[in-house]
Amino acid sequence: MKVLITGASGLIGQALVHALEKRGDETVPVTRSASAADRAVRWDPQRGELDPGDVSGYDAVVHLAGEGIGDKRWTETHKARVLDSRVRGTTLLTESLAEVDRPPAVLVSASAVGFYGHRDDEVLTEQSEGGDDFLSDVCRQWEEATQPARDAGIRVATIRTGLVMTPEGGIFPRTLLPFRLGVGGRLGPGSQWWPWITLQDEIAAILYVVDNDGLSGPVNLSAPNPVTNAEFTRTLARVLRRPGVFSVPSAALRLILGEEMASELLLVSQRVLPRKLLDGGFAFAEPRLEPALRNMLGKPGA
Ligand SMILES: NC(=O)c1ccc[n+]([C@@H]2O[C@H](COP(=O)([O-])OP(=O)(O)OC[C@H]3O[C@@H](n4cnc5c(N)ncnc54)[C@H](OP(=O)(O)O)[C@@H]3O)[C@@H](O)[C@H]2O)c1
């Protein structure tokens, strides 16, 4: 297959390029960077610049690009960039795909479990309603922006991804640090559900969605056994053989990160199940947290 990938330079994108090329597929990145490889397609979502001729003739498109959500404090400017980069980028890409002579068979477009908002212990599947906070609104608009591709007859799947766990980046190395320093512990009440997934399973699931003609619409990408933050903390402490008895009060997190960012990224509770992947027979390499952490950290069980 010939696969076009936006956000190919990111955490998930790099691993996806590697996996596709390993199985013999050809990949072409779409990037804002002027210094990328010659074969890359250049675009500027902010200015609405993308040559439709550059997106014609692919079998599949995977769209991952967007301003980092957890990288910076959520000022109004940063929030606008988070939203705009996704809505403008997705609209530009899908309108371009809709007008080419040879559109792809499938568009897999990133979204996030943030779609569901804060839901306590409720079990969430693709059929559940969306939430009503900032990230829910971002995800809703991000998913809706894929409509031009759907109207053009392209199979569209929006992948509602959970917390991607890998030592290479994202949330996991940041979670790990306090444990390594011996001051690890739960965040806020610890009762909030964390829909985690290993990077390896995230990539396998993206390939599964690309390859599986029967999958479209929202697809949850998270492990089938979500855990509470307290259980995550206990498990990580056990695997690392470090204490995990501390706790960071919600008020402190809100002070450090700001009310909205703390509430929607760390204190939010999302007990998400990957219903469509499970019903389709997708086999997770790491369905359970403890073996997943042991593998990632090179700490075999006793
Ligand atoms: N990692 C997670 O745990 C997680 C969880 C849920 C959802 N997701 C979503 O999945 C997607 C990929 O995640 P990731 O962790 O691989 O992201 P990432 O490492 O932050 O990479 C995102 C890529 O998007 C491009 N980008 C950055 N800012 C942009 C902007 N303002 N406008 C347009 N493009 C921009 C960059 O590519 P260029 O510089 O080459 O243009 C970058 O490599 C993201 O949309 C993310 O929100 C990730």
In a domain? residue 300: no
Q: What would the pLDDT profile of 87-109 be if each residue is shown by its tens digit?
A: 999 999 999 999 999 999 999 99
Ligand 1 environment, Cβ below 6 A: 7, 9-13, 31-33, 45, 64-69, 81, 85, 89, 110, 112, 161, 163-164, 170-171
Mean pLDDT across 219-234: 98
Ligand 1 pocket test, candidate residues 4, 5, 6, 11, most atoms within 8 A of CB: 11
The answer to whether residue 242 sits within a structural domain is: no
> What whole-number distance in Å separates Cα of residue 201 and Cα of residue 17?
14
Does residue 183 fall inside a structural domain? Answer: no
- Measure 204 CA to ligand 1 centroid, in angstroms: 18
pLDDT at position 300 over 80: yes
What is the extent of the structural domain holding 205? Answer: 2-167+195-222+271-285
Judged by phi (left if over 0) then psi (alpha if -120 to 50, else beta), residue 258 lies in left
* pLDDT at res. 71: 87
Distance 10 CA to ligand 1 centre (A): 6
Q: Please state, in angstroms and rounded to a whole number, the distance separating the CA atoms of residues 224 and 211.
A: 21
Provide the number of structural domains found in the chain: 1
Give 63 Cα–ligand 1 centroid separation in angstroms.
Answer: 9
Predicted pLDDT at 301? 80
pLDDT-above-90 percentage for the chain: 96
- pLDDT score recorded for residue 38: 85
Decide if pLDDT at 34 tops 90: no
Average model confidence (pLDDT) across the chain? 96
Residue 96 belongs to a domain: yes
Q: What is d(CA 61, CA 20) in angstroms, rounded to the nearest whole number?
A: 12
What average pLDDT does the segment 225-244 reach?
A: 96
Pairing state of beta strands 163-165 and 227-228? unpaired
100 within some domain: yes
> What is the atom index within ligand 1 of the atom nearest the CA of 89?
33
Give nearest CA residue, ligand 1 atom 37.
7
- pLDDT reported for residue 190: 97
pLDDT in tens, 239-269: 999 999 999 999 999 999 999 999 999 999 9
First to last CA, the chain: 43
> Quick check: is 280 in a domain?
yes
Whether the predicted pLDDT of 274 surpasses 80:
yes
Residue 302: predicted pLDDT: 62
Residue in 84, 90, 161 to alter for ligand 1 test, most ligand atoms within 8 A of Cβ: 161
Residue 89 Cα to ligand 1 middle (Å): 11
Would you state the structure tokens that stand for residue 103, as one six-digit string? Answer: 């559109």
The pair of structure tokens assigned to 195 is: 């829909």
Band of residue 36 on the pLDDT scale cut at 50, 70, 90: confident
Taking the CA of residue 32 as reference, the ligand 1 atom at the shortest distance is: 41
The CA 160 to ligand 1 mean position distance, Å, reads 14
CA distance 280 to 125: 14
Pocket test for ligand 1, best of 18, 32, 61 (most atoms within 8 A of CB): 32
The alpha carbon of 182 and the centre of ligand 1 are apart by a number of angstroms equal to 31
Please state the atom number of ligand 1 nearest to the C-alpha of residue 65: 24
Contact present, 93 and 63 (Cβ < 8 Å)? yes
Minimum mean pLDDT range among 7-21, 118-132, 167-181, 211-225: 167-181
Distance of CA 147 to the CA centre of its chain: 20
Whether residue 174 is contained in a domain is answered as no
CB-count burial class (<10 Å; 0-12, 13-18, 19+) for 276:
buried
> Is 145:159 a contact under the CB 8 Å cutoff?
no
CATH code of 149's domain: 3.40.50.720
Alpha carbon of 238 to ligand 1 centroid (Å): 31
B/e letters for 49-74, b = 16+ CB within 10 Å, e = fewer, are: ebeeebbbebebbbbbbbbebeeeeb
176, part of any domain: no
| Residue nearest (by alpha carbon) to ligand 1 atom 28 | 67
Span from the CA of 97 to the centroid of ligand 1 (angstroms): 20
